[in-house]
Amino acid sequence: MASSSFNQIQELRSIFAPSQLEVLDTPNKNYKLLKELLDRKLKPSDKGLEVGSSNYISKSSHFFIRAKALQNYSFLPFWNKETKIPISPTSYTEHSLKKGDLIISKDSNIGEIIILDKDYPNHMISGAMYKLPITKLKYYILSFIKHESFRKQLDLLVPKGSTIRHAKTLFLDCRIPFPTQKNKNEIINYVEILTKSLINKEIEIRKKSNEIFSIIKNELLNNGKKKTFQFSNPKLTDFSSLKRINAGIFSEYFKQEEFLIKNYIYGFNSIKELGFLASRGQNLQVSCIGKSIYSSEKKNNFYTVIKPKHLSVYGFAMSEEYLGNKNNLKTLKKGDIIFGAEGFEKGRSIVIFKDRDKTITNIHGITLNHKKENIKLSVFVKCFLDYLRRKNLIDLYAVGGNGGSLAMKYWDIIPIPKFPKAIKDKIIKLYTNNSNISNSNLSNFEKNDFNFNKSAGIFELDKSIKKTKLKLNYVLSDIVSNKKINIDFTFLFD
DNA sequence: AGTTATTCAGTTGGGGCCAA
DNA sequence: TTGGCCCCAACTGAATAACT
């Protein structure tokens, strides 16, 4: 049974909350507090500032970064219109955000951390974040702050009970353990190398995703039939033929973007014409399939569920869950596209690459199944759907409030351009391209990894990230519990 | 009657803001 | 600076409407 002394309680300003008296103890006593690892003491100026919502504007040269840009699944900031807000330049304060800076969150998603992938001039961070002054062992420390042992400690230090938790600077009192075995410096190096590898791969995924986007954009821009676009307001017949009167698809922006695709020199096809059959995913409600058992862990005979919320914007599943049900549910097949069709973040999609055992999605994921299982075509269509999402066209094609939905009946009006094979292959190769890495050691891994990243597609990069993350996690856990670690890179092979 | 599409509403986590 | 209230975004399961 755990106990607390009177002194302990007094130290805590007489707080009796059990969570505050709990301390996380680990076998490894060789640790430093985060504050001991900083280059210098944390200053108030390291904290961001609030500009107030009155300074939010729709377009600007200056931006305000919210804590939501820091996400558990990524080492890099995640950008969307929620996380990066244009603000009036007069309210801006310079934070000189540079490539490699570490940013930690102290409010709401407490302890979440990212590293900046490049310089961000004209960007400031909100009052919920600190910029950490760390140069020595930066990647080692970064990987530990992302690890659950750090979060557990912080969780116990920060009072619960309020809607938004405030960590103040309590993260500075969390422990970062160090290895104790003979070749401890090599182990530290190993952790740093793996962490850097993860960051590089994330950067590479974004780079390739951007490349796909610009290939599509340029191909459409440079190969139009007619030269100019002319906007005209909708006619009554447009309403009746499309059976829609909502403004989105009649706006000038939409018309112009749609013109770009429909005016493409080689023409376009609908999803159906390409041979896809669209249908909704399995309806999981009790009245439809009876009671199910939900689990976050893999279990024998359970279905794997990939829901739209699990998909990243770059086109892979970040996580999955499992469901036990006695019925024969509608499973996904090789070559299928899952497309998240509902809500504010709709439009994310993935392609199923391998024949998977008992994998399903839910009713919010529309599946596009090709009659003849054509992976290459599926990948191309998926990439083009990404283009539409990034151009905000998915939202405009969709109907309804609360984020809306791109119901199946609207899929027929979505044009997919008939790109020449060479262009298509270029796009497909960026998304998936087999790449091999030879077995490595500490001294040559970074070079081998660099070469792997260069040729690998987004899909392969993600696969490699998942393996590396798993390994890194084991290594960090072993450091926490003071177990001996062997340096190896065989985990990268299947 | 069974299947599919649409709408509704609950849940959860997180952001804004104010006052102490 | 911090605690806490208010409110909203995002997502989900389920009910209901609309089609075969």
pLDDT at A109 (0 to 100): 75
- Among A113, A129, A123, smallest CA distance to A62 is for A123
How many residues belong to chain A? 494
Q: Are A239 and A245 in contact (CB under 8 A)?
A: yes
Q: pLDDT of chain A along its 494 residues, tens only?
A: 344 454 554 444 444 444 455 556 678 889 998 888 888 877 777 777 767 665 667 677 788 787 777 777 788 887 776 677 777 777 777 778 889 988 888 777 778 888 988 888 888 887 777 888 889 999 999 999 888 888 777 777 776 544 556 677 778 878 899 999 999 999 999 999 999 999 999 999 999 999 999 999 999 999 988 878 887 777 666 666 666 666 567 777 888 888 899 999 999 988 888 888 887 777 776 666 766 777 777 778 888 888 877 788 888 887 777 887 777 778 888 888 888 876 656 778 888 888 777 888 887 788 888 888 888 999 999 899 888 888 878 877 776 544 556 777 677 778 899 999 999 999 999 999 999 898 899 999 999 999 999 999 999 999 999 999 999 999 999 999 999 999 999 999 87
End-to-end CA distance of chain A: 45
- Which nucleotide shows the minimum CA-to-C1' distance to residue A108? B14
- Among A1, A15, A93, smallest CA distance to A50 is for A93
The span from the CA of A110 to the CA of A478, in Å, is 24
- Which nucleotide shows the minimum CA-to-C1' distance to residue A330? B3
pLDDT at A317 (0 to 100): 82
Confirm whether any atom of chain C, the nucleic acid strand, is less than 7 Å from CB of A166: yes
pLDDT at A183 (0 to 100): 96
Backbone angles phi, psi at A350, to 5 degrees: -140, 165
pLDDT at A179 (0 to 100): 97
How many other CB atoms sit within 10 Å of the CB of residue A480? Answer: 21
Confirm whether any atom of chain C, the nucleic acid strand, is less than 7 Å from CB of A407: no
Q: Are A82 and A110 in contact (CB under 8 A)?
A: no
Q: Which residues touch strand B (CB under 7 A)?
A: A 50, 52-54, 66-68, 107-109, 126, 128, 163-164, 279-280, 283, 288, 363, 399-400, 402, 405, 407-409
Instruction: State how far the alpha carbon of A5 is from the alpha carbons of A2, A14, A19, A159, in Å.
Output: 10, 11, 15, 19
Q: Which two three-digit tokens encode residue A178?
A: 């160090």
pLDDT at A2 (0 to 100): 41
Amino acid at site A445: F
Domain ranges of chain A: 19-175, 179-225+426-494, 268-417
- Which nucleotide shows the minimum CA-to-C1' distance to residue A53? B16
Q: Which bases of chain C are under 7 A from a protein CB atom?
A: 1-7, 9-16
A19-175: CATH architecture: Alpha-Beta Complex (3.90)
Instruction: Say whether A268-417 and A19-175 share the same fold.
Output: yes
Fold designation for A268-417: Adenine-n6-DNA-methyltransferase TaqI; Chain A, domain 2 (3.90.220)
The span from the CA of A323 to the CA of A340, in Å, is 19
- Tell me the pTM: 0.87
- Which nucleotide shows the minimum CA-to-C1' distance to residue A112? B14
The span from the CA of A383 to the CA of A350, in Å, is 9
How far does the CA of A168 sit from the C1' of C1, in Å?
8
Confirm whether any atom of chain C, the nucleic acid strand, is less than 7 Å from CB of A2: no
